[in-house]
Amino acid sequence: MALQSPQKLSNYVGNQVTAASEKYLEVTSPHNGETIALVPLSTASDVDVAVTSAKAAFGAWSGLTFKARSAYLLKLYVELQAHADELAELIVREHGKNRAEAKGDVAKGLETLEYALSLPQLTQGRVAYVSSGVQCRDERVALGVVGGIVPFNFPFMVPFWTIPIALGMGNTYVLKPSEKVPMTMTRVAELASRVLPAGVLNIVHGDAKCAQSLVEHTDVRAIAFVGTSAVAEQIHLRATQLGKRVLALGGAKNHLVALPDCDIEMTAQDVVNSFAGCAGERCMAASVLLVVGEQPELVERIVAKARALEPGTDGMRAMGPVIDAGAVSRITSAIARAEEEGAELLLDGRSEPLFAERRAQGGFWIGPSVIRHTSSTDCALHDEIFGPVLSILHCPNFDAALAVENANCYGNAACVYTQSGASAEYFTQRFEAAMIGVNVGVPVPREPFSFGGIRRSRFGTCDITGDAAIEFFSFRRKITTKWGIAAEKSWMN
């Protein structure tokens, strides 16, 4: 059987395929390392074409009522829902998620779109008589052309954290997908062109230079970014210097705390799901487990459940590959350094036979690792590894565990496992993180609650989803009116 030729991708601007730079980057399959697509490295001129298209569409799109725009978004929802399985298969192919995770990626993205369908009801302004004969009201107004720059780890969900609400508020959009997973959003753009007016949603492919051109374009009013903290900080600084509204989400180092009264079976399974799900490539994944006391049975069950995971796409125990060879190198280096620092490898994903066999065949496979530390200064307890690696540190009491969690420079997520309401309250009120779980190892809030961290996990104002996104993608216009001569005298008349 002949190998399928790599798909040559193009930008999608004004509801049609558009030519871009003649320079292309290979997109490789994490499963076997084969080239599956060629993605264009768009230039500043290519970005300008996309922004110009979005700018031309803005007047008519923003001039529609919220209800009319919501009707378009409903058509988009129906179109994407009809192709959900196809989109999930693209995610499996280009990203490596197992099939259940890929379907979840699409489903969670569509949840934000569902929320955006309610914008006609959620965005009603306020009106009040503030003085005799004087009335004030406010209304939500779109910003203009907005740009989105997204990472590889959720090819559908993360772009859809922002696209539906940005469009629903009346903005037009230029998205730069990750060059590592460009196929999913290219297909989304094709589907969207069937139902959205031309220029409302535009896709421009490229690398960091393309992203920089989007950030610096004079007609882009706001930037939403998700990626590493180092890049998030740079984008926030540059966009702010240019007077743009910017929200840049960065990395994380999420801590779970297991108290002595935790449900051992539930906790063990949830911890494994958290650190090894999606191959650990998510900013809400568990990274450090702080065990209060010894709890040997809990640690043993975590190791046993992690060891039972197998490389693959289907099944309850299937774990996919990481994104590329660079990720494998980073993860294996972190494990090696932990070993050099004296940590104990309870499970070494580098040498797990089934994963090593797949890796030898050319894929980017690495099994789950569990590391037990005795020193709180070990690098693996502090550095973002972004892979299926769990560090365990034993703590003598509640406050010692809180001290470790709260000392880290990030602030995305934290979780406590306990059967005590009082203990849960003690931790939830003292964790210095923005998204907190009680017996929930991936405490992602869903709409209307918004997603976002603190400290070095977020640069800029607002969160990226829910009601915070409504605030970010619009400004409030306040209108004060007076008709006729008021019967009463006040400073306003």
Residues annotated catalytic, as ranges: 283
Helix residue spans in 341-480 (DSSP H):
353-360, 398-407, 421-428, 466-472
Under a CB-based contact definition with an 8 Å cutoff, are residues 413 and 433 in contact? yes
Q: Can you tell me the distance from the alpha carbon of 201 to that of 15, in angstroms, rounded to the nearest whole number?
A: 8
Gyration radius (Cα) of the chain, Å? 24
User: How many other CB atoms are found less than 10 A from the CB of residue 462?
Assistant: 19
Cα dist. 487→88, 132, 306 in Å?
65, 7, 76
Helix residue spans in 376-464 (DSSP H):
398-407, 421-428
The residue among 189, 171, 168 whose CA lies nearest residue 79 is: 189
Q: What are phi and psi of 240, to 5 degrees?
A: -65, -40
Block residue for tokens 């009801």: 121
The pairs formed by 236-245 with CB atoms below 8 angstroms and a separation of 24 or more are 236/459, 236/460, 238/212, 239/215, 240/460, 242/215, 242/216, 244/215, 244/220, 245/143, 245/221, 245/460, 245/472
Query: In a 3-state reduction of DSSP, which class is residue 393?
Result: strand
Q: Can you tell me the distance from the alpha carbon of 419 to that of 186, in angstroms, rounded to the nearest whole number?
A: 46
The residue among 77, 125, 127, 80 whose CA lies nearest residue 470 is: 125
Query: In a 3-state reduction of DSSP, which class is residue 283?
Result: coil
Q: Can you tell me the distance from the alpha carbon of 374 to that of 351, in angstroms, rounded to the nearest whole number?
A: 23
Helix (H) or strand (E) holding 205: none
Under a CB-based contact definition with an 8 Å cutoff, are residues 289 and 259 in contact? no
- Token pair of 60, please? 């008519």
Residue 104: CA count within 13 A, CB half-sphere: 8
Amino acid in the structure at residue 62: S
Residue 286: CA count within 13 A, CB half-sphere: 32
Q: Can you tell me the distance from the alpha carbon of 462 to that of 450, in angstroms, rounded to the nearest whole number?
A: 9
- Token pair of 175, please? 């998205």
User: How many other CB atoms are found less than 10 A from the CB of residue 144?
Assistant: 17
* Residue 7 bridge partners (DSSP): 37
Under a CB-based contact definition with an 8 Å cutoff, are residues 276 and 388 in contact? yes
344-347 and 369-373 strand pairing:
antiparallel
For CA atoms 193, 199, 205, 211, the dihedral sign is negative
